Structure 1
Amino acid sequence: MATVRAAVAALAAVSVALAASLGAGRAASATAPPADGVDAPLPEHLADTGLYAPGSSTDPRDGVLGFTPQYPLWSDGATKRRWLALPPGGFIDGTSPDAWAFPPGTRLWKEFALGGRRIETRYIERTPRGAWRFASYVWNEAGDDAVLAPARGIRALAVAAAPGGRYAVPGRTDCLACHGGSPVPVLGASALQLSPARDPLATGASPPRPDAVDLRGLAERGLLRGLPPELLAEPPRIPARSPLERAALGTLHGNCAHCHHRAGTQVPLALTLAQRVADPAAALHEVLQSTLGAASRFRPPGSAAEAHIVVPGQPEDSVLTLRMASRQPQRQMPPLGTELPDTEGLALVQRWIASALPPPDPRQEIHP
């Protein structure tokens, strides 16, 4: 497991540096880099990151926008809220619709709650010099203040509603395991995730709050520019051969695509689970071709025969669902961040596999 984590962390460091360098010149920002090239220290209190209105620990500040991805990452059943803020005069460059360029000064927050209590709020910031940095803020029992967690994280925070009564707060380098392997460190705010054409069968998704922005809302505010106009006229969806397949592939995209993609910073496996709005039919074909009947390097314990990632009609023999269901460190997928399997998402993927899937046909016309 240590070898896997080391490899992911190495990929993460490279990809974050690449993402910062690629985006720096394309997204407009009024934020000037520091004269000495050194970023200011992270604030000690969440309230000082700019999330909340003065004097409040619940109401977002003016200019801070809520958003709700349609295919959220599973986090042991935690309830999550998310916010985004851009610097004055800044905007997201959507010219590359699957790899948005966020301006320096961008800030994002994700709040985690269990049993009705806020536990932590994670913070991502693109600094004035273009680098991305990550932090976690841990809420006190009273719920009126959240303090910066140690850079190494907190391995076992006592939380009664967490699995086993313990909650793991990630360290700053842990964040790179997911955010660093993606083409863009921002995972939940993308053309597909914020599409107004939301998937009604998506698992784990909360209904968007009344004040949440989506793809069109960002564009109407001038905060998203350069996006191909057809993606606003006809909001993107995962192309699929059935609604069940669309939802199952959305679950896999939301939980696995940050590592399993073809953007050049992925883990060294042929498995692709990422959807793309720029070329949705081709992306779907890549996913199906790399899963349905594809040989797996992982062999389940006790199996003498060659294993396959997805065995159409047989979820019990498919490595994909076997690893989704496991929480043994050497087997579980995703490899980090959860103590419990996503039973709802797993059941959805199992139903998709059990539907006697035909292999992908490149001649078949697939409609979004």
Structure 2
Amino acid sequence: MTRPLSMRLAVIVIAALALTACGGPAPSSPHFIAEGNPPLLSDWGMMASNGRALTLGAGVEPYDLVTPLFSDYAHKQRTIWMPEGVSAEYREDDVLDFPVGTVITKTFYYPRGNGEDEVLRTLDHAPGWRADGLDLAGIRLVETRILVRRDAGWSALPYVWNAEQTEARLARAGDIQRLTLVSPGGAREGFAYAVPTSNQCAGCHAINNTTREIEPIGPAPRHLNRDFAYPDGAENQLAHLTAAGYLADWPGAGNTPRAADYLDLAATLDDRARSYLDINCAHCHNAAGPADTSGLHLRHDTPDGPNLGFCKPPIAAGGGTGDRPFAITPGQPDQSILLYRMEINDPGSLMPELGRAVRHDEGLALLTEWIGAMQARCTE
């Protein structure tokens, strides 16, 4: 059952006041900035931090994805905010059609290790995750990315957090942070966490290679059709956005596609693998995307066959084939280029090209199992 907007706003205020009472900053006031590049994240009012807690502004709605995009084991807090009187339009097989004034944020963070630059490799939400913000005890904030829908289209702006975790500054030229990833077993892996430049943000989000217009990647109905633990209880995210006035024409959870959680062993192996490829690869690897010349299309609805990589020889892989014959060699993971590109960390050949400096072992294991279970065989 949806709640009146006044009740939802009351819940937000109560949650914000509770976090403030526990040492959080005063709630911020979000607003749309129609032009320019604000130098501080706080200029937007989407969130506020005093170094002990990060709180979301009034009406800023957190959300999560069924299967998230992998980014060097970073955790992410995602939010959506819209000005009063506008809402997104439902599109079944595409990202929601967001109105001018929409601001989407994605904050990247890690649980801290013992050393100054140590961060912990974990799969679940890091300590401190909560629907109304983050308790920053034991958390290292890295960056927050803003996507804002303006009259001329979407703009992408990356902000890097200061050491005190009280403010993030615009970093249009990007940033490199040297970190050490510590696994639960104690293994250590040094890596360079790359905050993308504004141009790299735009390049990744320009999912149509002809128009080069950028747009969000994650908030499509199939990726949002799941429950979220809001301050007043768990609720389907699309139902929650509808009750907030942020979404129009939603047909209901039962009439909305849902991607599989790649870690959900109750889902089929094929659904889990296809969902992983869809969120991690398909924004480039689609018929109109930046990787259109590869002929490899990894959207969730691509039919089995050469476009999905089955027995498909390389077209634009350069030296990144690992001497393997096909993108996907059914039944032979060790002969599949797709897995080779996921295994290596060579910046000139790894995939995805942006946002990954370390190997995603869980994703690699899933796709290895998926390809290994395939019964078809290729002929040279």
TM-score by length of 2: 0.70
Contact 1:71 1:253 in 2 (8 A): no
Question: Residues 106 and 260 (structure 1 numbering): CA distance in 2 closer, same or farther, change over 3 Å?
Answer: same
**Residue 245 in structure 1 maps to residue 245 in structure 2:** no
Contact 1:274 1:287 in 2 (8 A): no
How far is 1:135 from its partner?
A: 1.2
How far is 1:76 from its partner?
A: 0.7
Moved more, 87-96 or 69-78: 87-96
Q: Distance in 2 between matches of 1:300 and 1:41?
A: 39
Question: Residues 194 and 238 (structure 1 numbering): CA distance in 2 closer, same or farther, change over 3 Å?
Answer: closer
How far is 1:109 from its partner?
A: 0.8
The residue aligned with 1:210 is 230
**Residue 106 in structure 1 maps to residue 115 in structure 2:** no
Q: Distance in 2 between matches of 1:40 and 1:269?
A: 36
The residue aligned with 1:65 is 61
Q: Distance in 1 between matches of 2:142 and 2:292?
A: 30
Q: How many residues align?
A: 300
Q: Distance in 1 between matches of 2:94 and 2:326?
A: 29
- Runs of at least 5 residues in structure 2 that lack an aligned partner in the other structure: 1-30, 113-138, 183-188, 261-266
How far is 1:166 from its partner?
A: 3.6
Aligned residues with identical type, % of pairs: 30
**Residue 188 in structure 1 maps to residue 218 in structure 2:** yes
Q: For 1:174, what is the secondary structure of its paired residue?
A: helix
The residue aligned with 1:232 is 253
Q: Distance in 2 between matches of 1:273 and 1:133?
A: 26
Superposed CA offset, 1:213-238 (max 9, x none) = 622322333322234x2x63333135
Q: For 1:187, what is the secondary structure of its paired residue?
A: coil
The residue aligned with 2:190 is 164
Find the partner of 1:41 among 29, 36, 39: 36
Q: Distance in 1 between matches of 2:326 and 2:66?
A: 29
Q: For 1:133, what is the secondary structure of its paired residue?
A: strand
Q: Distance in 2 between matches of 1:333 and 1:243?
A: 25
Question: Residues 165 and 140 (structure 1 numbering): CA distance in 2 closer, same or farther, change over 3 Å?
Answer: farther
Question: Residues 74 and 252 (structure 1 numbering): CA distance in 2 closer, same or farther, change over 3 Å?
Answer: same
Contact 2:321 2:341 in 1 (8 A): no
Superposed CA offset, 1:117-162 (max 9, x none) = 11111111112x232111111111221221222x2212x2344559
Contact 1:181 1:266 in 2 (8 A): no
Q: For 1:252, what is the secondary structure of its paired residue?
A: helix
Superposed CA offset, 1:96-128 (max 9, x none) = 64142211111011111123211111111112x
Contact 1:112 1:118 in 2 (8 A): yes
Find the partner of 1:294 among 304, 312, 316: 312
Q: Distance in 1 between matches of 2:177 and 2:322?
A: 36
Contact 1:65 1:213 in 2 (8 A): no
How far is 1:320 from its partner?
A: 0.9
Q: For 2:331, what is the secondary structure of its paired residue?
A: coil
The residue aligned with 1:255 is 280
RMSD: 3.1
TM-score by length of 1: 0.72
Q: Distance in 2 between matches of 1:166 and 1:300?
A: 21
**Residue 153 in structure 1 maps to residue 174 in structure 2:** yes
Contact 1:139 1:146 in 2 (8 A): yes
Q: Distance in 1 between matches of 2:321 and 2:306?
A: 25
Q: For 1:112, what is the secondary structure of its paired residue?
A: strand
Q: For 1:285, what is the secondary structure of its paired residue?
A: coil
Superposed CA offset, 1:36-55 (max 9, x none) = xxx53222221221212698
Moved more, 340-349 or 111-120: 111-120
Contact 2:225 2:236 in 1 (8 A): no
How far is 1:243 from its partner?
A: 0.9
Find the partner of 2:155 among 111, 114, 133: 133
The residue aligned with 2:296 is 271
- Runs of at least 5 residues in structure 1 that lack an aligned partner in the other structure: 1-30, 199-207, 276-282, 360-368
Amino acid at match of 2:193: Y
Contact 1:100 1:184 in 2 (8 A): no
Q: Distance in 2 between matches of 1:103 and 1:287?
A: 37
Question: Residues 335 and 137 (structure 1 numbering): CA distance in 2 closer, same or farther, change over 3 Å?
Answer: same
The residue aligned with 1:219 is 242
Q: For 1:117, what is the secondary structure of its paired residue?
A: strand
Question: Residues 54 and 138 (structure 1 numbering): CA distance in 2 closer, same or farther, change over 3 Å?
Answer: closer
**Residue 124 in structure 1 maps to residue 147 in structure 2:** yes
Contact 2:304 2:310 in 1 (8 A): no
How far is 1:351 from its partner?
A: 0.4
